[in-house]
């Protein structure tokens, strides 16, 4: 298909002139988290109620006279703004006011007070947990102020469904330079000199991967964007695809130019419907504008882009399994070498990069290698996005330079460790699981360890996809290891015996430990089996599946030993190892627990401490739930 040529500067100037035709802008976060909390209803309320208050609500920038502009408000959505737990988020421009947890019923007050009288609504501002200080904008909210958002910078600021705004912000200029002023070899060289490493887990140098594909002789080559983000709790790639899909497409275009590919695939989890929809619209808009097609930027090199929904299997995030899935086969890994860059999709040289890597590529070309190296560490330049979850006050999507420490992330950006109810009560930090099922645990001794590819590898962990699960001292590390082992065992494709059977036996051994059946041989057997699975599995899933077990054994062996030798869970989380008991100091003899017990295991006189018959108790927890004096333990 032949497409019209495009002048980026003309499109950018037209958009800027149109954007000048409104008095204010209201940006409503339309990422998945805020949408789930009702942000689209908030957006619709603004559109419906602004005219009732004498304002003109527009959803697409368009030119206007000065008189009209004074009463026009642009209402637009954005991608994920990161502070998910405080959503729905609403930003008022040009003041930069950020309102949190906005509901449709708040809209009339915002229109009347903020837009009409220029007043700030204090109750809708973020309040710091300890001081209660209200923060007016992202510059004063510690969660934002202590980050360095580059890849995520536009995700919460621009309309992801308006290609013109992306272009007005400098979008596609790096791709234009790659196609019109650089040779494929020069593109590979610039990316290599930038030091960009793959953000999907392994950290392989991106430029070297491209160069390997570039030098292959072939009548066809392919580029694949790996958006099959499957780690529990990870949503970094999803947020980029939803919030800035054109950055992903631009990265694909530059990669295609570097290796000589004329066809690209964006492989996205089917569980990400919003990302799929926005990517498909972005591809259609880019094609209609002539950014994609037979003659990209007049270079005589064409590029067609397809968005494909994934097969729903975690293993399809592995390169060779992903290729098999695109080819219509069952997603199962294949031995390497040959590597995909040598023989990949339909037997042709193929480059596979993850979403965050491709979204970073335009930044490396626009700023140059020196600027890119100014952030991060020598071996890991640039920034990294993380999904911060668990026992931490501020959960959400963050971006920090490589080299940032866990202490900075957990206590400065994250706001500190919480108890199980989510309150910051001074509970001690215990560990962080980094990198999801493929990663490992970091402990208190690692709080000041710079987070980058090499330092994490030295302590038996990895950056992985970027998940960070914070755990307090009430967390059972054996149970955590079992959680991730259950996940990887379920997701094993079954192709190789060590992964298929090894993960199953590791899970059985962890169950023995948690349920009080382990003996003197269990820990040694678990460790040796984990080592064998890591060494002998075919693909990355199997090779890294034992990481959570091996790292927790390394740093929390005493906790494992307490489970095995003392039949005791130090965190009091494993039911089978708890001894039911009633604290006589707390019990008031109200008899409520005895009346609630379904098996009659509790006895005692009224107004006297009660006792639990351990032999009868089935540990259902009914007594603990009804006790008003917190006297029941061990169930």
The CATH 1.20.1440.230 domain(s) of the chain lie at 478-565
Q: Helix axis angle, 355-373 relative to 245-259, nearest 10°?
A: 80
The token duo for 64 is 């206007």
pLDDT at residue 4, rounded to an integer: 53
The whole-angstrom separation of Cα 620 and Cα 626 is 12
The whole-angstrom separation of Cα 614 and Cα 364 is 65
Compute how many other C-beta atoms are within 10 angstroms of the C-beta atom of residue 488.
26
The token duo for 322 is 């992903």
The whole-angstrom separation of Cα 101 and Cα 250 is 33
What CATH architecture does domain 163-372 belong to? 3-Layer(aba) Sandwich (3.40)
Q: Does domain 478-565 have CATH number 1.20.1440.230?
A: yes
The CATH 3.10.20.600 domain(s) of the chain lie at 383-475
Say which DSSP state 575 is in.
G
**Considering the chain, what is the average pLDDT of its residues?**
92
The CATH 3.40.30.10 domain(s) of the chain lie at 12-144
The whole-angstrom separation of Cα 467 and Cα 201 is 11
The CATH 3.30.70.20 domain(s) of the chain lie at 579-633
Residue carrying the six token digits 């802008």: 25
- pTM across the whole model: 0.90
pLDDT at residue 1, rounded to an integer: 46
Q: What is the per-residue pLDDT across 435-476, written as a single tens digit (0 to 9) for each?
A: 888 788 899 999 999 999 989 888 888 887 788 999 999 999
Q: What is the per-residue pLDDT across 25-50, written as a single tens digit (0 to 9) for each?
A: 999 999 999 999 999 999 999 999 99
381-399: b (≥16 Cβ within 10 Å) or e: bbbbbbbbbbbbbbbbbbb
Q: What angle do CA 42, 44, 48 make, to 5 degrees?
A: 120
Residue carrying the six token digits 């309150």: 423
Classified by CATH at the fold level, domain 383-475 comes out as: Ubiquitin-like (UB roll) (3.10.20)
Domain 12-144: which CATH number of 2.40.128.20, 3.40.50.720, 3.40.30.10, 3.30.930.10: 3.40.30.10
Residue 602 and residue 618 in contact, taking contact as beta carbons nearer than 8 Å: no
Please list the rounded mean pLDDT of every run of 10 residues in the chain (635 residues).
71 92 92 94 97 93 79 94 93 96 97 95 91 92 94 94 96 96 96 94 91 96 94 88 97 98 96 96 96 93 95 86 94 91 96 96 93 93 94 93 95 91 87 86 93 88 85 95 92 88 95 94 96 91 90 95 93 87 93 94 94 88 90 82
The CATH number of the structural domain formed by 579-633 is: 3.30.70.20
The token duo for 294 is 């037979």
In terms of Cβ atoms closer than 10 Å to its own Cβ (0-12, 13-18, 19+), residue 144 is buried
Three-state DSSP state, 239: helix
Start-end of H helices in 260-354: 273-288, 319-326
The token duo for 190 is 């610039």
Residue 88 and residue 31 in contact, taking contact as beta carbons nearer than 8 Å: no
The token duo for 154 is 């536009």
In the sheet with 304-309, reading across from the earlier edge strand, the strands are 304-309, 263-268, 222-227, 350-354
Q: What HEC string does 152-219 produce?
A: CCCCCCCCCCCHHHHHHCCCCHHHHHHHHCCCHHHHHHHHHHHCCECCCCCCCEHHHHHHHHHCCCCC
How far from chain centre, in Å, is Cα 349?
29
The whole-angstrom separation of Cα 628 and Cα 320 is 56
434 phi and psi, to 5 degrees?
A: -115, 135
The whole-angstrom separation of Cα 170 and Cα 320 is 35
């Amino acid at each position: 298909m032949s497409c019209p040529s495009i002048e980026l500067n003309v499109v950018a100037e037209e958009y800027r002139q149109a954007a000048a035709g409104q008095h204010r802008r209201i940006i409503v976060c339309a990422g998945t988290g805020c949408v789930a909390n009702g942000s689209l209803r908030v957006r619709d309320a603004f559109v419906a109620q602004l005219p009732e208050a004498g304002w003109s609500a527009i959803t697409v920038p368009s030119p206007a006279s000065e008189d009209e502009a004074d009463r026009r408000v642009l209402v637009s959505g954005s991608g994920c703004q990161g502070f998910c737990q405080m959503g729905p988020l609403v930003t008022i421009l040009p003041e930069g006011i950020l309102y949190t947890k906005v509901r449709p019923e708040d809209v009339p007050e915002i229109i009347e007070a903020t837009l009409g009288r220029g007043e700030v609504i204090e109750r809708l501002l973020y309040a710091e947990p300890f001081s209660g200080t209200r923060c007016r904008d992202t510059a004063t909210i510690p969660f934002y102020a202590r980050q360095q958002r580059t890849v995520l910078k536009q995700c919460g600021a621009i309309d992801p469904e308006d290609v013109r705004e992306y272009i007005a912000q400098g979008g596609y200029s790096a791709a234009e330079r790659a196609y019109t002023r650089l040779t494929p070899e020069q593109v590979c060289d610039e990316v290599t000199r930038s030091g960009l490493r793959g953000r999907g887990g392994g950290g392989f140098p991106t430029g070297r991967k491209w160069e390997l594909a570039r030098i292959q002789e072939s009548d066809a080559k392919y580029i694949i964007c790996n958006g099959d983000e499957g780690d529990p709790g990870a949503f970094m790639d999803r947020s980029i695809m939803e919030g800035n899909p054109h950055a992903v497409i631009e990265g694909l275009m530059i990669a295609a130019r570097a290796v000589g590919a004329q066809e690209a695939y964006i492989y996205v989890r089917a569980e990400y419907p919003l990302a799929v929809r926005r990517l498909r619209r972005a591809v259609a808009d880019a094609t209609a504008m002539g950014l994609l097609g037979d003659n990209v930027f007049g270079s005589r090199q064409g590029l067609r882009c397809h968005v494909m929904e994934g097969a729903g299997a975690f293993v399809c995030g592995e390169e060779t399994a992903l290729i098999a899935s695109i080819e219509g086969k069952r997603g199962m890994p294949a031995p390497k070498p040959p590597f995909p860059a040598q023989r990949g999709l339909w037997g042709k040289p193929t480059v596979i990069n993850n979403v965050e890597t491709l979204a970073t590529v335009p930044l490396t070309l626009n700023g140059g290698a020196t600027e890119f190296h100014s952030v991060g560490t020598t071996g890991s330049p640039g920034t990294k996005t993380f999904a911060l979850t668990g026992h931490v006050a501020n959960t959400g999507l963050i971006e920090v330079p490589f080299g940032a420490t866990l202490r900075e992330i957990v206590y400065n950006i994250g706001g500190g460790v919480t108890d199980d109810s989510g309150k910051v009560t001074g509970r001690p930090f215990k560990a962080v699981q980094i990198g999801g099922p493929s990663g490992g645990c970091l402990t208190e001794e690692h709080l000041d360890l710079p987070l980058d590819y090499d330092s994490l590898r030295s302590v038996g962990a990895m950056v992985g996809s970027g998940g960070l699960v914070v755990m307090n001292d009430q967390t059972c590390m054996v149970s955590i290891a079992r959680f991730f082992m259950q996940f990887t065992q379920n997701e094993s494709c079954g192709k190789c015996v060590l992964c298929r059977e090894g993960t199953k036996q590791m899970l059985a051994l962890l169950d023995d430990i948690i349920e009080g059946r382990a003996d003197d041989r269990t820990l040694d057997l678990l460790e040796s089996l984990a080592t064998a699975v890591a060494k002998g599995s075919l693909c990355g899933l199997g090779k890294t599946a034992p990481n959570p077990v091996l790292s927790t054994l390394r740093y929390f062996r005493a906790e494992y030993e307490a489970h095995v030798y003392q039949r005791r869970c130090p965190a009091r989380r494993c039911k089978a190892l708890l001894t039911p008991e009633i604290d006589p100091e707390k019990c008031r003899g109200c008899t409520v627990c005895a009346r609630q017990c379904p098996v009659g295991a509790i006895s005692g006189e009224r107004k006297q401490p009660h006792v639990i018959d351990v032999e009868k108790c089935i540990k259902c927890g009914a007594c603990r739930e009804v006790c008003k004096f917190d006297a029941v333990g061990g169930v």
